[in-house]
Structure 1
Amino acid sequence: MSATDAQAADAICWMLRFHPDDRPSFGQLASHGFLRGMVDLGVVVSVMEESMQKPVVVREAVPVPPAPVLPPLVLKKEDEEEEEEEE
């Protein structure tokens, strides 16, 4: 059993101590470390879901000028340079 599984099992046991009508408040959830992390994750996920449901802003495409055409770059090999230096 991994550490995360053990934390989840501990959190489930902690939650099962409560009667269904007596669910823990947000403050009680925050007092349990693992559940606090899950609540934080749930808040992040809900914010992401809300932002995904908003209409997307579409902007006009900006024209991009073509790149300038450059002459090909010619590199000399090291061997040719050494021969020229010897002559």
Structure 2
Amino acid sequence: MNDLDKYINKRMITDPEFAEGFDSGYTKFKLGYMLAKTREESGISQQELAQKLNLSELIINQIENDLQDISMSILEKYAQILGKELVIQLK
């Protein structure tokens, strides 16, 4: 277990408010990170993506930095523009 995992485990035990919102917050963070990384690997700037999605660059930045929720329709278009297939799993 690395230091980050140890810290998270300790906070979850000692801070009920942190534990309550951790899973959903972490999932949103991972999604934003994956979208940004895929966009960068595709060689598309936030500005180009924003134009193709008919959104502002600020909205793209907020989506990729976990500051704004994203609708399924935008998520599907996002994946399509990046040449990817959207796959959603429930575990």
Give the TM-score of the pair, scaled to structure 1: 0.30
Computing the radius of gyration over CA atoms, which structure comes out larger, 1 or 2? 1
Higher relative contact order (CA 8 A, sep 6+): 2
Give the TM-score of the pair, scaled to structure 2: 0.29
